[in-house]
Amino acid sequence: MDIQILPATEIDQLKWDSCVHYATHPSFTGYTWYLNAWDKDWIGMVEGDYESVMPLFRQKDWLGRTVYRQPGHIGPTGPFSIHVMSRPRILVFLKAAPGRLQHVLLPWEGQVGLPGVSASPLKRDLLQLYEPYAQLKSGFSWLKDAGQKDWAMIQLTPESIASFWQKHEPSYRGKDKDVHRYHRIMYQALHRGHGFLSGIGSTADQLEAAAFFITTGGILYRLFSASVPGQRGEEARRAMYDLLIQTHAGRPWMLDFNGDALAPSFGATRMHYTRIDSGPGKGKG
C-alpha cells in the first residue's frame, strides 16, 4: 500500500470527498467542508489514487511536542476506504502517520488489540427510528417519572444557539475555539441542507434546551447541545429528543446521541467506537 502524506491545500477535494461518500463506513465527518470548518491546517493520508483516506490534525501535547490527533469533539474521521477496512490495512495507516498518534477515533467497534497500538472503547448510543412512535415510546424508561408539561418549540439562529451553548456548557480548554468551529459547521451544514436547529422551553421566550443535528446517510447526528442547569434542563432535553423521535418515527433513520447521557433512558443501543490512545506512527513528532 502506497500512503501519501499531503497538506490540505494539496488534496484533490473531489477525489477525497468521493472516497468518503463511497466508503464502506461513510460519514460527514470525513468531508473536506467539515474538516476545513474545524481547522484548515490538517493533513491527509491518501492511499493510491484516493482509494482510502484519513485526516489528522497537528497539535501540541502538554510537553510541547507535536502529536497527530483528532480534536475531541470532531467525531470519527476515518480511515475511509472503498475497500474492506481489514485490521492489516488499518495498521498500515497508523504506522504511516508522520508522528506520534493520540486520541484517534476509528468509526468501528472491536478493533482493539492491533499490534503496537494502545486503544480503548468509546461509547456510542444509537436508536433505530424505523418503528412506529408508540413502539419506540414503550422503551422510554424516563416516562414513569415524567410529569405532565407543555413545551414550546423555539426558533433559533446559529448565533443564538452558539451563545446559549457557550453560556451553559461547562468550561474546558479550547471551548472558545469550538464555539467558532460550531458556527462554521452550522452554516456549512445548513447551506447544504444537512442540518437543523432544535430549541425548546417552558414558554416561547424561555429557551431551556437546544441542539444542532446533522442529517446525512440516514443518521440524525447530535453535533452539540446544551440545557439550563438542574432538573429543569434535563426535562427540557428529554422533551426535545421526544419531539424529534415523534417527528422521524417510522422512517429509515437512526438517531446518534453522540455521547449524551440521556441516551439509555430512550432505549438506545450501546455500541462503541475504538479510540487509539497511542499508536506507532513514525515517531518523529
**150: helix, strand or coil:** coil
Predicted model pTM: 0.88
Asked whether the CA dihedral 267, 271, 277, 283 is positive or negative, the reply is negative
* Residue ranges of domains in the chain: 3-121+273-278, 130-252
Please enumerate, as own/partner, the contacts of 64-68 that have beta carbons within 8 Å and a separation of 24 or more.
65/100, 65/285, 66/99, 66/100, 66/285, 67/99, 67/100, 67/101, 67/102, 67/285, 68/43, 68/97, 68/98, 68/99, 68/100, 68/101, 68/102, 68/104, 68/281
Check whether the bond before 264 is cis (ω within 30° of 0).
no
Report the C-alpha gap between 186 and 199 in whole angstroms: 15
Please enumerate, as own/partner, the contacts of 168-172 that have beta carbons within 8 Å and a separation of 24 or more.
168/226, 168/227, 168/228, 168/229, 168/233, 169/224, 169/226
Q: What's the topology of domain 130-252?
A: Aminopeptidase (3.40.630)
Asked whether the CA dihedral 203, 209, 212, 215 is positive or negative, the reply is negative
Q: pLDDT at position 269, please?
A: 93
User: Around 189, how many Cα atoms within 13 Å sit in the side-chain half-sphere?
Assistant: 26
Q: pLDDT at position 109, please?
A: 65
* One pLDDT digit (tens) per residue for the chain, 285 residues: 789 999 999 999 999 999 999 998 888 989 999 999 988 889 999 999 999 999 998 877 777 777 787 776 788 787 899 998 877 788 888 888 888 777 777 766 665 466 667 777 778 899 999 999 999 999 999 876 665 578 999 999 999 999 999 999 988 888 888 899 999 999 999 999 999 999 999 888 899 999 999 998 889 999 999 999 999 999 999 999 999 999 999 999 999 999 899 999 999 998 877 777 776 666 444
- For 59, phi and psi rounded to 5 degrees? -145, 165
